[in-house]
Amino acid sequence: MNRNLKLLGIVVAVLALLTWLYQCGPLGPVSARKDTRDRDFAIENIESVGKVFLVRKTDGAIIILERRGNDWWVSNAIEGAPSFKANPNVVENLLEAMSGIRLKYIPPRAALEHIVKDLATRSIKVQVFDRSGQLMKTYYVGGAPPDERGTYMIMEGAEQPYVMELPGLGGSVRGRYDIFKIDRWRDKTVLAFDPDRIEYVSIDYPKQRSKAFELKREGRKWALNPLYPTTPRKPGAPDPKEIRTFLSGFRQVYGEAFLNEWDGRDSIRQLLPFARITVREAEREKTVTLWPIQRFVSDRDLPVVEKYHADIRPEGDFMIVQHRLIAKILWAYDFFFPEAPDS
């Protein structure tokens, strides 16, 4: 009797499985299968992406990111506005979200009215194109549910919104998309020169003229001179090793932040600077002017300089630069000469 019951149970289970496979599974008709394309937000092959178009509904702000070779460039779609090299870290954060986004849960029916209203009024429209310019996906990124875990998202043309997540993030992913100040997207490189291509460098210290100098390439050699004729020339020749060390500092100097919208930048530009750095190669020249940002140590009342305001030309950018990052090129005239032996 028990054996017959077991056989009957197996037959029932097999029939139930076959019924499901036919009605809802891969053996069933196409119309009976669950269409999950409206939750397929992730870009599986993120390297295929060539352009990302972001529009914020609340104010119509636009950001366009375009891949050019190995770099990304950013613009804000204003007619005649320039495009800028994008900060690789900020772009990578966005691409990580676009490729790693996953379904967290389907929101309850009772919450749909609120979610749809949120998406309709304050979402960010995201259009993703491949490298040939073909549209890959269009979707909308909304706010977060009450517990701040996840992000409301809906595919264009769909009716069902979802709560999506980036595994490991914990909170909302909207912040990766909601960046519409172009300076926050921009690469913060202040100086980037190949030492072998540099032809000229000068550093002027208006308040310490004896430290100012200019360095010129003359064939395969370098000529080092004081920048001001009142500065006595050092005897002997500069150390070639010191010159190479100095020039290597121009490979990469990063800034901390842009201050292009700060009202005080023009007032700073009227002040006598601490230093003015000019570097030139065959096809380009750049000048960085520095004003120290001082803080005072309370127990000694001595100024400490940890950062500078920096005016970057010809771009016209105004930035903050950390002393620890730019100090490697803040040399003085006598730094290039061997120290005199002790008597």
Q: Does residue 22 form part of some domain?
A: no
With left for phi above 0 and alpha for psi between -120 and 50, is residue 35 left, alpha or beta? beta
Residue 19 · residue 79 · CB < 8 Å:
no
Q: Which of 32-46, 67-81, 122-136, 197-211 has the lowest mean pLDDT?
A: 32-46
Residues of the chain by 3-state class (helix, strand, coil), percent to 5 = 25, 35, 40
Among residues 185, 207, 229, which one ends one of the domains? 185
Q: Does residue 23 form part of some domain?
A: no
Among residues 137, 164, 185, which one ends one of the domains? 185
Residue 295 · residue 303 · CB < 8 Å:
yes
Residue type, 65: L
Pick from 88, 124, 99, 92: which is nearest to 48 by CA?
99
Give the pLDDT band (50/70/90) at residue 13: low
Per-residue model confidence as pLDDT tens digits over 292-338: 997 765 556 667 889 999 999 999 999 999 999 999 999 999 999 98
Q: Does residue 136 form part of some domain?
A: yes
Could you give the number of structural domains in the chain?
Answer: 2
172 and 54 housed in the same domain = yes
54 and 162 housed in the same domain = yes
Give the pLDDT band (50/70/90) at residue 213: very high
304 and 200 housed in the same domain = yes
Task: Quote the mean pLDDT of the chain.
Answer: 88
234 and 326 housed in the same domain = yes
- The rounded distance, in Å, linking the Cα atoms of 90 and 295 is 30
Per-residue model confidence as pLDDT tens digits over 292-301: 997 765 556 6
Q: What is the pTM of this model?
A: 0.79
Identify the domain containing residue 295 by its residue range.
189-336
Per-residue model confidence as pLDDT tens digits over 82-124: 899 999 999 999 999 999 999 999 999 989 999 999 999 999 9
Mean pLDDT of 23-34: 45
Residue 64 · residue 82 · CB < 8 Å:
no
Give the pLDDT band (50/70/90) at residue 38: confident
46 and 181 housed in the same domain = yes
